[in-house]
Amino acid sequence: MIRKAPAGDASELHWFKSSFSDTSDPNDCVEVATAPGTIHVRDSKNTQGPRFAVTTATWTEFLQLVEEA
């Protein structure tokens, strides 16, 4: 995992709601943004708050585990 401090301006990233966050509460979701070799993740309720980034390989492994669960 790659840990990064919150960026001051994340406008260069295109954030979208994760398809795994489809719940009955539209405010209860995770947003992701892709960059070359990196997936960024944040809480949609706190877009200026903490976020983290992982490699695309780590993200792919995570999604495979989620689908198996």
pLDDT at 2 over 70: no
Residue type, 48: Q
Predicted confidence at residue 5, as pLDDT, reads: 42
Per-residue pLDDT tens digits for 40-57: 999 988 889 999 999 999
Per-residue pLDDT tens digits for 12-38: 899 988 776 666 666 678 899 999 999
CB-CB contact of 50 with 42 (8 Å): yes
Residue 4 buriedness (CB in 10 A; 0-12 / 13-18 / 19+)? exposed
pLDDT at 11 over 60: no
pLDDT band per the 50, 70, 90 thresholds, residue 60: very high
Q: Is 19 helix (H, G, I), strand (E, B) or coil?
A: helix
Predicted confidence at residue 7, as pLDDT, reads: 44
Question: Domain residues of the chain, as ranges?
Answer: 16-68
